[in-house]
């Protein structure tokens, strides 16, 4: 699943659950739950195995995804700050976004830069078993529908 969907979900959880001790573990857990939903994203390990590197197209997709995740996370955090006028709300939302994408961040050095590590390898193996990949455009539509649905319900 794309980072923008993970980040928006984690931010929404942190927005709805005002206690960080509840919100942050739920945001982290949401990552694994969302990966079990039908979705599409570039298959970086397969692409690296086939071509020896990540294509420019995939690099661009990753860049846009990360940018959109940052924008959406800041958007939710800003809404929370305006609503409560408390910096702690802003920080809680940003941390919710961070925790929701954390498993992918742990894997990024392995996938993008071939930096080895036992924990990222194990995490990648677990996550690859959870993935429910479907082709475009449906795999992207499911992620957009998820974000729009969360927005309509919580904001």
Q: Return the pLDDT at 5.
A: 98
Domain encompassing residue 119: 3-154
Helix (H) or strand (E) holding 99: helix 87-113
The total number of structural domains that make up the chain: 1
Q: Tell me how far apart the alpha carbons of residues 108 and 124 are, in angstroms, rounded to a whole number.
A: 10
Q: What percent of the chain has pLDDT over 70?
A: 100
The pLDDT tens digits of the residues spanning 21-70 come to 999 999 999 999 999 999 999 988 889 889 989 999 999 999 999 999 99
- For residues 79 and 8, the answer to whether their CB atoms sit within 8 Å is no
CA distance 15 to 27: 11
Strand partners, 133: 39
Geometric angle at alpha carbon 53, from 51 and 54, rounded to 5°: 105
Six-digit token pair at 105?
């961040």
Residue whose token pair is 């690099």: 59
Tell me the whole-structure pTM to 2 decimals: 0.93
CA distances, 63 to each of 4, 47, 59, 138 (Å)? 11, 17, 6, 21
């Amino acid at each position: 699943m794309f980072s923008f969907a993970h980040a928006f979900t984690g931010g929404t959880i942190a927005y709805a659950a005002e206690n960080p001790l509840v919100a942050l573990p739920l945001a982290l857990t949401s990552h694994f739950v969302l990966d079990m939903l039908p979705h599409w994203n570039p298959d970086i390990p397969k692409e690296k195995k086939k071509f020896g590197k990540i294509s420019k197209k995939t690099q661009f997709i990753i860049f846009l995804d990360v940018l959109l995740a940052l924008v959406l996370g800041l958007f939710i955090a800003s809404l929370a700050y305006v609503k409560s006028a408390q910096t702690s709300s802003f920080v809680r939302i940003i941390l919710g976004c961070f925790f929701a994408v954390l498993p992918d961040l742990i894997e990024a050095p392995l996938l993008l830069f071939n930096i080895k590590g036992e924990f990222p390898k194990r995490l990648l193996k677990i996550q690859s078993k959870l993935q429910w990949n479907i082709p475009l455009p449906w795999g992207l539509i499911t992620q957009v529908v998820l974000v729009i649905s969360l927005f309509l319900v919580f904001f």
